[in-house]
């Protein structure tokens, strides 16, 4: 990747300034470990923000999902339903615990999990006498899923819901924070997310016992003895006190970052409004996306592909990215059951993510838009 200062990256980190204060606090207290005031503070502040009773600060969103599955007792022989249109980290932890993924297609109005396909899958498994042990629903690019329909279906079939809100911190559905609807939710604080801890994640849950179990498993599942005694496989999944300090500083500017991301999206809509072939990711009434990435699809029959645009942008030192390749297309997941009508295949074939950094200037966005305008004028 170019180090040219003129290069426009997809979603770089954006520090708010207070991160150094919390990092210094860790140094002053000499808590350079996976415990300390920053870890405790970050967990409390995050839980308060998303309206959940408690949180576990962890090394990644992937770790959070892995621990959620373990806390629910999911094991080999079980099935777990998962959105197909997502990043591989949403489905890999199903395999970590030895369970079998069943992949569910998207619907066009949010690009997220289709309630219709979910109902088909649930009824199929009911007829076969083996319902899934959980559903992982992903809120892509910050867009909330159709939670009312999804929750009603899962409650009817008694299937617990885990929310993959890795990309959706600060997004809301009818005013409620994403990650707070299911039995558990989790977030990612990777360097490209709306806020970052450099690398990290968090698990939130309504049940305190579930969060406590996750924290225990994340610290090598040590039994409460003076010596190191273990009866269960554990993991080294806790977030460091220094990284948690970065997170505390970032949480202070989260609302500002959401508004900046949404403004970036609005700017693109304005700058490219004359190109009829571009269709932006929808935002239905009652759904509020943090617009983590500004994404669009190209109308069918235009003769222009996202890859051609991506290469044109790259030639001008601008990073962009295709939409996620669905899991049911991945060699890793060949042979998994899949329910849907290939909506996600179509989105992948026609979609692109544009640079969406919160420090992106209007002039830089105009530079991006001009490359796209020239390309369509050809």
Q: What is the number of domains present in the chain? A: 2
Closest listed residue to residue 197, CA positions, set 166, 240, 157: 240
Give the number of other Cβ atoms within 10 Å of residue 159's Cβ: 18
Q: Single out the residue in 227, 251, 275 at which a domain terminates.
A: 251
Same domain as 153, residue 30: yes
Distances in Å between the Cα of 248 and the Cα atoms of 55, 295, 303 are 14, 29, 47
Model's pTM, two decimal places? 0.96
Q: Write out the two tokens for 76.
A: 């080999």
> Domain containing 265 — which CATH number?
3.90.1150.10
More confident residue, 302 or 292: 292
Question: Domain of 153?
Answer: 19-251
Residue-wise pLDDT for 265-277, tens only, equals 999 999 999 999 9
According to the model, what pLDDT value does residue 301 have? 86
8, pLDDT greater than 50 = yes
d(Cα 62, Cα 88) in Å, to the nearest integer? 10
Distances in Å between the Cα of 191 and the Cα atoms of 49, 59, 223, 245, 250 are 20, 13, 34, 14, 12
Q: Write out the two tokens for 150.
A: 């999804």
Per-residue pLDDT band at 4 (split at 50, 70, 90): low
Same domain as 281, residue 219: no
Q: What is the DSSP letter of 145?
A: P
Look at residue 10 and tell me if it is in a domain.
Answer: no
Residue-wise pLDDT for 171-219, tens only, equals 999 999 999 999 999 999 999 999 999 999 999 999 999 999 999 999 9
Residue-wise pLDDT for 105-158, tens only, equals 999 999 999 999 999 999 999 999 999 999 999 999 999 999 999 999 999 999
1, pLDDT greater than 50 = no
Task: Calculate mean pLDDT across residues 339-368.
Answer: 98
- Look at phi and psi of residue 159 and say left if phi exceeds 0, alpha if psi is from -120 to 50, else beta: beta
Q: Is 226 exposed, middle or buried (0-12, 13-18, 19+ CB in 10 A)?
A: exposed
Q: Write out the two tokens for 345.
A: 């295949």
């Amino acid at each position: 990747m170019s180090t040219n200062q003129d290069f426009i990256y997809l979603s770089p980190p954006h520090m708010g300034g207070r991160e150094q204060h919390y990092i210094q606090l860790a140094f002053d207290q000499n808590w350079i470990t996976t415990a300390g005031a920053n870890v405790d503070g970050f967990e409390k502040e995050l839980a308060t923000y998303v309206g959940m009773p408690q949180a576990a600060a962890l090394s990644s969103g992937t770790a959070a999902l892995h621990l959620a599955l373990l806390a629910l007792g999911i094991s080999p022989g079980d099935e777990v339903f998962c959105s197909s249109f997502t990043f591989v980290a949403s489905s890999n932890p199903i395999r970590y615990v030895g369970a079998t993924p069943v992949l569910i297609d998207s619907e066009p109005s949010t690009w997220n999990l289709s309630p219709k396909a979910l109902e088909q899958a649930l009824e199929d498994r009911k007829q076969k006498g083996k319902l899934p042990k959980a559903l992982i629903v992903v809120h892509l690019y910050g867009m909330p899923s159709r939670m009312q329909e999804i929750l009603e279906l899962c409650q009817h079939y008694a299937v617990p819901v885990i929310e993959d809100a890795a990309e959706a911190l600060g997004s809301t559905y009818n005013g409620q924070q994403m990650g707070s609807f299911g039995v558990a939710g989790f977030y990612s604080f990777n360097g490209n997310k709306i806020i970052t801890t450099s690398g990290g994640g968090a698990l939130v849950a309504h049940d305190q016992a579930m969060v406590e179990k996750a924290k225990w498993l994340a610290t090598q599942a040590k039994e409460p003895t003076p010596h190191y005694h273990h009866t269960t496989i554990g993991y080294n999944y806790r977030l460091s006190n220094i990284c948690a300090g970065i997170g505390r500083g970032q949480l202070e500017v989260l609302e500002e970052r959401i508004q900046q991301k949404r403004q970036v999206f609005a700017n693109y809509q304005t700058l490219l409004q004359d190109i009829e072939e571009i269709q932006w990711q929808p935002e239905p009434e009652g759904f509020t996306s943090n617009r983590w990435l500004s994404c669009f699809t190209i109308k069918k029959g235009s003769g222009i592909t996202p890859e051609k645009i991506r290469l044109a942008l790259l030639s001008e030192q601008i990073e962009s990215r295709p939409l996620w390749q669905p899991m049911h297309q991945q060699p890793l997941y060949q042979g998994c059951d899949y329910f849907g009508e290939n909506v996600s295949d179509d989105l992948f074939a026609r979609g692109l993510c544009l640079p969406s950094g919160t420090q992106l200037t209007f002039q830089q966005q105009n530079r991006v838009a001009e490359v796209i305008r020239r390309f369509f004028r050809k």
